[in-house]
Amino acid sequence: MQFDLFFLTVASVGVLVAAVSKTGFGGGASFAATPILALVLEPGLALSVMLPLLMLMDVTGLKAYWGKWSLREFRILIAGAMPGIFLAAAVYGFADPDVFRFLIGTIALLFVGFQLAVALGWVKARTEPLPPRIGLLSGLGAGFTSFVAHAGGPPTLMYLLSQGLPKVMFQATTVAMFSVVNAVKAAVYTGLGMFTLEGMTIVVWLAPVAVLGAVLGVFANRVMPDRLFFGITYVLLTIAGSKLIWDALT
């Protein structure tokens, strides 16, 4: 791995988008870093590099929202997420890197497609709370997609948004849930040998970018329109997702 200008630029853009989203815009597009990083890193390495950076962001979130979560919803989602993580780990154990390029790229495009459908009114927000069994399935999907692309947000949000939680409780529940999910993923990644010296060197290089992005996110929340930020993010996700799928299939 050469830490040239192209690599550092692409990697920094991915981490900045993730950090700004996580601290400034509810974290809805924070998984954008993974498909962007996977353009310049082998998919498994991209996942292992991004996880410590996400955990660094989790620390700040836990401190701010400690004890303010909905324990009921947290337990439902975690109960579903654990088997989802281990299912994804089983797939990772025998899958070719191109399988993960394809999965990461597909998740990125599906996410953009879903957001477009919501914006056009093709998908309506649910007014009645989803039952716990759907919460378990959402947790399962979140655990799986979080493992393969750090993209557990959409399945989680689909369930939590239907529960009508107060804003602070909603945010605190997502922070608590993903703090636990990321900690379990770290243990599984370690068992699979995904953390390497090369990867940790990249983490050290990108950690200041993650901190800077977290600070910028707070500022951007005040001055940058949501539509502009998410518009830029969705364009990046579409380009990165399409390129990953192309690379996986060719």
Q: Say how far apart CA 202 and CA 118 lie, in whole Å.
A: 36
Q: Say how far apart CA 37 and CA 163 lie, in whole Å.
A: 34
Res. 223: pLDDT tops 70: yes
pLDDT of 168 = 80
Q: How confident is the model at residue 48 (pLDDT cuts 50, 70, 90)?
A: very high
Q: Say how far apart CA 220 and CA 6 lie, in whole Å.
A: 25
Cβ neighbour number for residue 220 with a 10 Å cutoff: 19
Tokens coding 178 = 């993903």
Closest CA to 151 of 237, 220, 91: 237
User: In which region does residue 26 sit, left (phi positive, over 0), alpha (psi from -120 to 50) or beta (all else)?
Assistant: left
Contacts of 125 by beta carbon, 8 Å cutoff, 6+ apart = 118, 161
Q: Which amino acid is at 236?
A: L
Least confident of 40-44, 77-81, 118-122, 183-187: 118-122
How many residues does this entry show for the chain? 250
Res. 228: pLDDT tops 70: yes
> What end-to-end distance do the CA atoms of the chain give, in Å?
23
The pTM of this model reads: 0.83
In 3-state terms the chain splits into helix, strand, coil percentages (rounded to 5) of 80, 0, 20
pLDDT of 93 = 80
pLDDT of 26 = 58
Please name the residue ranges forming H helices in the chain.
Answer: 5-24, 33-37, 43-65, 71-94, 97-119, 132-149, 153-160, 167-191, 197-223, 226-249
